[in-house]
Amino acid sequence: MMSGIRGNVGRSESMRTGASVDSHDSVGGGSTGNGGSGGPGSNVRLGFANLPDQMHRKAVKKGFNFTLMVVGESGLGKSTLISSLFQQDLYKDRELGSATERVNKTTEIDKRQIELDEKGVKLRLTVVDTPGFNDAINCQDCWRPIEDYIDNTFEQYFKDECGLNRKNIVDHRVHCCLYFVSPCGHGLRPIDVELMRRLHSKVNIVPIIAKADTLTQAELRDLKERVLADLDRHKIQTYRMPDTDSDDDEETRRQESDIRACIPFAVIGSNCVVESADTGRRTRGRQYPWGVVEVENPKHCDFAKLRIFLLGTHMQDLKDITKEVHYENYRAKYITERMSKRKGAVRDDFETRKSKNTTEANFEAIVDTEGLLKEKEDELFNAK
């Protein structure tokens, strides 16, 4: 009996010892659940902190796509600005037509693609130009090809998304539209307002004041204020830069504030290399009798800030808004219209069937009535 009691005591002590060991192990396990920094002497890492590195490697290996549209009348330096932005001459094979040809020309879509590589990061860039816009004497519906092109890219992406091979979908949607405003006017013209009102719900519009070197500083400030006032008065939604995060450093906040203050960007483009008067280095610019205008000098124009904004800080946000806002709006509208058409077709089919059934019923009733009348006639004839 005593030996049995001692055996039970031994088993209970071992159970208590085992429980204490399990408790100790669970404490150690709990410390590693916080990334290996919970308890003393805990050096175990779970590894999920490497997820950003994995995503970075995968994204770099796949490469990035970006589609940029430039809109504005001829002679505002659109092609030159694109060449200056990306250090590539995309339009060296373009032939300029005569004045008569340009007057009679309608809006076209000119799409150029190029692959850029910077520090191992590949960017497949598509530039969509719109030669002929606002060049003809009659500019009625000159915006139609531009609007149709954006809608067609949305429709094609929707069809690819609904298809069987969703893995290799190529995104041709327009992520940003640089709209060039003439420096010769006093703000936005009616054609500018009409086009931007049609596009602002479909694409990120970034207004650009072209050929800023033709204006004085005072004239440039006045034109920027007029453009912003016109946009506000006509309720045109251009691209809005997101607010800075609370954990952003002071340098990032200052850079964002400087870029926001420059909109609409006043730019100068040039394919010529000149010698800087200040530093003596060779840079893109324009030589005038009174001096040199440097394209990348922040004191001369907003080109450098535009490049930082477009390529350095907000390219992904432009793509996200295209996907999450503009495309989703198009997708919801497209599905709603298709459902309405389908309901209308079903309703028409139902009405047709209903009308047909009613006609057949009426015909059968007429036949039955004629039969009864015939029987009555036969009865009367036999009665005589």
Domain boundary assignment for the chain? 55-335
- Looking at residues 257-271, what average pLDDT do you find? 91
> Tokens standing for 363?
């015909």
Q: What is the pLDDT of residue 179?
A: 95
In whole angstroms, what is the distance from residue 192 CA to residue 134 CA?
9
Kindly give, in sequence order, each residue whose CB lies less than 8 Å from that of residue 110, ignoring residues fewer than 6 positions away: 94, 128, 129, 130, 131
pLDDT band at 318 (very low <50, low <70, confident <90, very high): very high
What pLDDT score does 226 carry?
A: 96
**Higher-confidence position of 303 and 374:** 303
| CATH T-level fold of 55-335 | Rossmann fold (3.40.50)
Query: With 80 as the cut, is the pLDDT of residue 81 above it?
Result: yes
pLDDT, average across residues 219-225: 95
> Please, what is the average pLDDT of the chain?
80
What average pLDDT does the segment 170-174 reach? 92
Q: How far, CA to CA in Å, does 212 sit from each of 76, 81, 278, 296?
A: 10, 12, 20, 13
Q: Indicate the pTM of the whole model.
A: 0.74
Mapping DSSP onto H, E and C, the string for 220-285 reads HHHHHHHHHHHHHHCCCCCCCCCCCCCCCCHHHHHHHHHHHHHCCEECCCCCCEEECCCCCCEEEE
- Once rounded to an integer, what is the mean pLDDT over residues 304-322? 94
Prior bond of 207 cis (ω within 30°): no
Q: Which residue has the higher pLDDT, 195 or 338?
A: 195
* Region 149-158 average pLDDT: 94
* The predicted structure's pLDDT at residue 21: 42
**Edge-to-edge strand list for the sheet holding 121-129:** 110-118, 121-129, 64-71, 176-181, 205-209, 265-266
Beta-sheet strand order (sheet of 282-288): 273-275, 282-288, 291-294
